Amino acid sequence: PGIRLSTLLCKHLGLSRRQSERMILADRVTLFGKICNSPAFQLRPNPDPNQNSSSAMKLDGKLVQGVDKTLKSMYLEQQKNGGDLTTLNETSNEQKKKKNPSMQNTRVWLANKMKGELVTEHDPDGRPSMLQRLIRGG
């Protein structure tokens, strides 16, 4: 198997999976001059080093530079992992965590701020803060 077009766009352009799929379904991506409207379209790197495929992909009519290198690296990593794309994604997440150790301890909270609360960790005047309330479990 090859690399899905949507996965390649995500990795190369830094898009989310949904963003790349919307771009493809909106007929914004062309391969070798033909509109490609299937996010599941499989791509493989060209084994012939003499053939230039850097002009193969366009987004909104503009050339996507360097996509062939990204495709080759993703394909090689996929082959190394036995063709498992989930391993490929997990590997890239693990690499991100190694590059940025603070990512390991990051927690995201979704909460509403109550009237009269501050959004701060410490207040020298002792006013109530949203963070204090969340730490208390409220």
* Tens of pLDDT, residues 110-124: 788 889 999 888 888
Average pLDDT rounded to a whole number, residues 5-22: 90
Average pLDDT on 85-106 reads 55
**pLDDT above 50 for 87:** no
Q: Write the CA distances from 77 to 43, 73, 130, integer angstroms.
A: 14, 6, 44
Overall average pLDDT of the 24-53 stretch:
83
d(CA 120, CA 117): 9
pLDDT of residue 88: 46
